[in-house]
Amino acid sequence: MYEPKHRFVYDRIKETNKGKKTGLLQIEVTYLGTKKYFSTEVHLKPNQWNGSKVIRHPESALQNTKVKKLIDKIDEYIGNTKDFSLDGLNNFVKGRSTDDFLEYFETNLYIPKKKISLARGTEYGYHVVLNKLREFDKIKTMSDLTLENIEGFKDFLIKGDISSNTLYLQISIMKKIVHQALKDKKIHEDPFWSFDMPERVPAITIYLTEDELKEIEAFDPPFERMVEARDIFLFQCYSGLSYVDVKKLTTADITVEHDMKWIVTPR
């Protein structure tokens, strides 16, 4: 198992060699061959750093406390985080929101700006993505919204053997919620900024002819369940309702006007 490691790095960009009197003290964290640097915001002369602590500085105690606080914060994240990532550590160190993202997602199933309830089929799609995020189990808080985790979620969805268009739709739904969180100031940076969205493949719509519909109507299924499936399919064809909408249809959605029955549902 790979463990993140950290060490002090003084004057990494060689400021003291460019005429400056002091150099910045940073903490280098290495994980899986990748390095990330965290500033202690402590600037020192070469003789004020002995490799492990600040010395010969007018405020040595204060500067060492600053350095220790950053080290403690890094160690806290490493020790308490099940799925370590450098982006996650960066968010934690910068004090970004640890609000529950999944809870925000669930309570925010509304179209941004308009704030009107989603159509039934769209709402179903949002709940599918929410359940997929729960299965993925790596994006729980706002701080988990990193490029690395979003790419991981994309790979997770691909393993579910879904079509390109379904992948595009599900990532788009998540992106919409993330951007709403950005507008609500739950997060301060867009993790989708450098994310490569999956390609959307133009759908080829296949229509049934009137004769083909009549053939289906005339079909006599050998099982009762097939009779039900046939009738539901034909009902969808003639009503234009999706399977999800038909599944949720109730008698309350049917009204009578001018001696005719009408289906009245939000779309």
Nearest-angstrom CA–CA distance, 110 and 80: 34
Cβ neighbours of 233 (radius 10 Å): 15
Contacts 24+ apart (CB under 8 A), 108-111: 108/177, 108/180, 108/181
Round to the nearest angstrom and report the end-to-end CA distance of the chain: 50
Nearest-angstrom CA–CA distance, 74 and 201: 43
Query: pLDDT > 70: what percent of the chain?
Result: 93
Query: Quick one: DSSP state of residue 263?
Result: E
DSSP codes of every residue in 105-158: HHHT-B-TTT--BPPHHHHHHHHHHHHHHHHH-S--BGGG--HHHHHHHHHHHH
Residue 110 pLDDT > 60, yes or no?
no
The confidence band for 14, taking pLDDT boundaries of 50, 70 and 90, is: very high
What pLDDT was estimated at residue 114? Answer: 46
pLDDT in tens, 18-65: 889 999 999 999 999 999 999 999 999 999 999 999 999 999 999 999
pLDDT in tens, 203-260: 777 889 999 999 999 999 888 889 999 999 999 999 888 888 888 888 888 898 888 8
Residue 1 pLDDT > 80, yes or no?
no
Six-digit token string for 176: 């919409």
Cβ neighbours of 24 (radius 10 Å): 18
Closest of 128, 134, 117 to residue 170, by C-alpha? 128
> What predicted TM-score, i.e. pTM, was given to this entire model?
0.49
Closest of 166, 167, 190 to residue 177, by C-alpha? 190
Six-digit token string for 122: 């769209």
Four-residue CA torsion sign, 249, 255, 259, 260: negative
Nearest-angstrom CA–CA distance, 243 and 232: 8
